[in-house]
Chain A
Amino acid sequence: MGRLVSFDEMMKPEGRHRAVYAQIQKWLDQAPRELLASRRAQAEMMFRRIGITFAVYGDKEASERLIPFDLIPRMIARSEWTRLETGLIQRVRALNMFLSDIYNKQEILKAGTIPADIILTNPHFRPLMAGWHVPHDIYIQIAGIDIVRLDANDFYVLEDNVRTPSGVSYMLENREVMMRLLPELYAQHQVAPVENYTDSLLASLRSIVPHKSGHNANIVVLTPGQYNSAYYEHSFLADKLGVELVEGRDLFVRDDVVYMNTTRGPQRVDVIYRRIDDDYLDPQCFRADSTLGVPGLMRAYRAGNVALANAVGTGIADDKAIYTYMPEIIRFYLGEEAILKNVPTWRCRERDSLSYVLENLPDLVVKEVNGSGGYGMLIGPHASRQEIADFAQKLKQDPANFIAQPTLNLSTCPTAFDDGVQPRHVDLRPFVLSGSDGIRIVPGGLTRVALKEGSLVVNSSQGGGTKDTWVIDDMLLEE
């Protein structure tokens, strides 16, 4: 990896810091190493006390692990953020229009902009969703768009997460912990707040209530339960929203209406913020062995008696094969050029691309189109000869299942370790909320950091950590 020189978000090549990091640089220069170490220990204690842990599947020893937290905030200037925000709004609008179209008129297929078989043979395409519109025609209420920087100018979309993106509780708790741990540094920066995220989420969920009785509508968060890796986040969100955290067994469907069992008898449920995958939602329609879901839920959904956030079948929009068509999708529905760039991607389903990819495997990152969480991918430059050969076999057997991208030279940010501060690769997941009354985004998002030296994998399941993300006013930078 030594041959790549990454864009460092703090230090310019000539050794001067970028303006947005001025105060951070000063603080790092002055803060004694022991202070950083003691703050790190304090941070860990605070996260333990809050209970913000996650489970790693197959890791019995550590069933409640902390995601490592890095103290040094990731800085973004307001002008940069505004550009990013505009691009995110554009992208999520197009994604929503795409889903509404794909499940109804399919004009984009008729126009030949996207090959129909990519959609129609895709396991994430849900025929049950075809031929009707979800309440208010909003399919993606909550999106987590993964953004990377490769240089000082552009933001690139690495992937769109529009099924049940997680991580927002880390964004919110990281901020609370930073305010406590480094109050002086925090106060110097006048950081744009993120604390109104849950209020915005509530407003978005309220805006999609399927019937008229808006004010008394019941919203719930549906969790697979406390053994799920993101359970902390589910409980955190339900608490902040002031809504019940339910499991499938708390809900039932009668006459196509969803109810929850309460001490006052059955109460009607109008909006379900579900953190359960499509496959497990309703054993009558999807996996029959699912005990996490609610029998009859899809009937109630299709009868228009309940709204689901996100809608069923959104997986078709964050498929990595569809991703490659995002510039065309944005142009098709909005008549605009995409503000956020796509990472250059080879579709292995196309013969020329496949042969290029096979020839260049040691330099490429190859991903399964339906994979997530950093599993099932090949990172060419880090793979052994044998691993590459094995992967080439897999690729040849089912090329349509893969896409390939150049090894991205992700930007780096200063990160604190016991032996000092070192640059590490980062990405950014801003959360985009869509309601019938518009799109809401709090400034910033979750910065994920690959803690291993040279590593480009930021996923928490693969040793990644998180940072707080500070959006600060440009006028502060001029001083």
Chain B
Amino acid sequence: MLARTADNLYWLARYMERADFIARILEATLRLEALPKDYGGSEPEWESSLDAVGVLEAYRQIYPSVTGPSAVDFLAFDHRNFSSIRNCINSARSNARAVRTALTRETWEAINSAWLELQRFESIHAQKGYFDRETLARFLDFAKKTSLDADGSAYRTMLRNDVYWFQRLGLYVERADNTARILDMKYHVLFPESDQIKGTRDYFQWTTMLRAVSALTAYHWVYRDQVKPWQVAELLILRPEMPRSLISSYSNIVRFSGQIARAYGQQGPTQELAKDVLTRLESLPIRDIFASGLHEFVTHFIDDTNKLGHTISTQYLLS
């Protein structure tokens, strides 16, 4: 396969996953923002959401201060934001178009019809310069459904060869990064000493994190317990049955990078680094992570995942 083709496939999946993630972050933050002040509703939430998506600096270059409406628009639709949902879907589609022949018809149509639908939102947005709340809700539903469709079509129709594996690799690297960023943004409300029901404020912070990875109901099924901060951390980091946990993302990264290596008859730094990270996750109980500092752990993890991204690029994607 051409390195360029692999690059398109990998990024196609990353952008699709990112669009879904930003839609969830937006929904969760809107929900938090609408709460009364003493339940934690406030504008500073937007700053941490922009930060979690990694676009706070880009935002600051355009806007003097962080406000709800401008943050929402920046995350959802601003063409100046490289990672806005709109740009993610556009980028995913242009990557898909570049490798149209590598995709099954179903996968291509899922992505292309999303892009067509996006044009409709473009014209609504152009009229007002922003989305009203109802259109925004529809747009976020659309973004989540787009990822479901693209992901589901690929899963159901693609041959299990490197075309498929590079997409999966992209999806799970993006997912690992996204979950880690949520942890990074909220680590301060997850300290074990906040065990005591300190008030409802923190409760809604925890449930916001769970909503952002669509795990609120899953949490209850795994723990059969009230929402408690260290269990939220454990679910997002170490529970293999949780599809967006760090450990689950990495076991998929190891699996799909392993399949590429076996097919190509060659292991490399990607496989080595992925296995290292997974082994560390598998050997760390959550109390050790808290003991040595959750923030340090997450920062370290995000660095590793960045490094993995570079390694994949160097090993496979750059010609």
> Chain B binding site: helix, strand, loop or mixed by DSSP?
helix
Q: Are B41 and A183 in contact (CB under 8 A)?
A: no
The answer to whether B220 touches A242, judged by C-beta atoms less than 8 angstroms apart, is yes
Which segment of A184-192, A444-452, A461-469 sits at the interface? A184-192
Q: Does any Cβ of A come within 8 Å of B56's Cβ?
A: no
- B218 nearest CB neighbor, chain A only: A242
A209 to chain B: closest CB distance in Å? 12
Question: In the bound complex, how far is the Cα of B134 from the Cα of A169, in angstroms?
Answer: 24
Bitwise interface map of A from 222 to 245 toward B, beta carbon under 8 Å scored 1, else 0: 000000000000000001111100
In this assembly, does B300 line the interface, its C-beta being within 8 Å of a C-beta of chain A? no
Name which of B8-16, B31-39, B58-66, B236-244 contacts chain A: B31-39
Given A184-B132, A202-B220, A242-B217, does the pair A190, B226 have CB atoms closer than 8 Å?
A: no
Q: A193-B39, A196-B200, A199-B203 are in contact. Are A187 and B222 (CB under 8 A)?
A: no
Closest to B135 in A: A183
Residue of B133, B134, B136, B207 touching A195 (CB-CB under 8 A): B207
B residues 30-51 touching A (CB-CB < 8 Å) = 30-31, 33-37, 39, 41
The docked-state distance in angstroms from the alpha carbon of A320 to that of B30 is 45
A48 within 8 A of B: no
Answer yes or no: A11 CB below 8 A from chain B CBs. no
Contact assessment for B34 and A191 in the assembled complex, using a CB-CB cutoff below 8 Å? yes
Interface residues of B in 192-239 (CB under 8 A from A): 200, 203-204, 207, 217, 219-227
Known: A190-B35, A193-B35, A473-B36. A219 touches B224 (CB 8 A): yes
The 8 Å CB contact of A240, one of B31, B217, B223, is B217
CA distance A195 to B211 in the complex (A): 12
Using known A-B contacts A239-B217, A242-B217, determine if residue A190 contacts B37 with beta carbons closer than 8 Å.
yes
With an 8 A cutoff between CB atoms, is A274 at the interface?
Answer: no
B225–A202 CB distance below 8 A: yes
Contact A190 to B36, CB < 8 A, known contacts A179-B31, A184-B134, A196-B200: yes
In the complex, B159 has a CB within 8 A of chain A: no
Query: Does B3 have its Cβ within 8 Å of any Cβ on chain A?
Result: no
In the assembled complex, A180 has its CB within 8 A of some CB on chain B: yes
Q: Does chain B have a CB within 8 A of A358?
A: no
B318 on the A face (CB < 8 A): no
Chain B residues with Cβ under 8 A from A206's Cβ?
225-226
A203 within 8 A of B: yes
Q: Which residue of B lies closest to A200 (CB)?
A: B226
Which chain B residues border A202 with CB–CB below 8 Å? 220, 224-226
The DSSP consensus for interface residues of chain A is helix
Least Cβ distance of B204 to chain A in Å? Answer: 7
Nearest to B27 among chain A residues (CB) is A179
Shortest distance in angstroms between A317's beta carbon and chain B's nearest beta carbon? Answer: 28
A241 touches B36 (CB 8 A): no
**Smallest CB gap from B219: residue in A:** A242
Interface residues on B, range: 20 to 34
Residue numbers in B under 8 Å from A241 (CB-CB): 220, 224
CB pair A190 B34 closer than 8 Å: yes
Supposing A191-B36, A242-B220 touch, asked if A184 and B133 sit within 8 A by C-beta, the answer is yes
B227 touching A199 by the CB < 8 A rule?
Answer: yes
Residues on B with beta carbons closer than 8 Å to the beta carbon of A218: 224
Asked if A187 and B36 make an inter-chain contact with CB atoms under 8 angstroms apart, the answer reads no
A202 to B231, CA, bound (A): 16
Shortest CB–CB separation between residue A288 and chain B, in angstroms? 34
User: Across the interface, which residues of B come within 8 angstroms of A192, CB to CB?
Assistant: 35-36, 39
Given contacts A190-B36, A191-B36, A242-B224, A183 and B203 within 8 Å (CB-CB): no
Give which listed residue, B35, B200, B226, contacts A203 with CB less than 8 A. Answer: B226
Complex Cα distance, B39 from A192, in Å, reads: 8
| Interface residue from B39, B137, B200, B217 paired with A183 (Cβ < 8 Å) | B137
18 A-B pairs in the complex with CB atoms less than 8 angstroms apart:
A179-B31, A183-B134, A183-B136, A186-B34, A187-B33, A187-B133, A190-B35, A192-B35, A195-B207, A196-B204, A199-B227, A202-B224, A202-B226, A203-B226, A206-B226, A240-B220, A242-B223, A242-B224
Q: Which 10 A-B pairs have the closest CB atoms?
A: A242-B220, A183-B133, A242-B221, A184-B133, A190-B36, A187-B34, A203-B226, A242-B224, A199-B226, A473-B36
- A residues near B, CB below 8 A? 179-180, 183-184, 186-187, 190-193, 195-196, 198-199, 202-203, 206, 215, 218-219, 239-243, 472-473
Known: A180-B137, A242-B219. 10 other contacts (CB 8 A): A183-B30, A183-B136, A184-B132, A190-B35, A190-B41, A192-B36, A202-B220, A240-B217, A242-B223, A243-B224
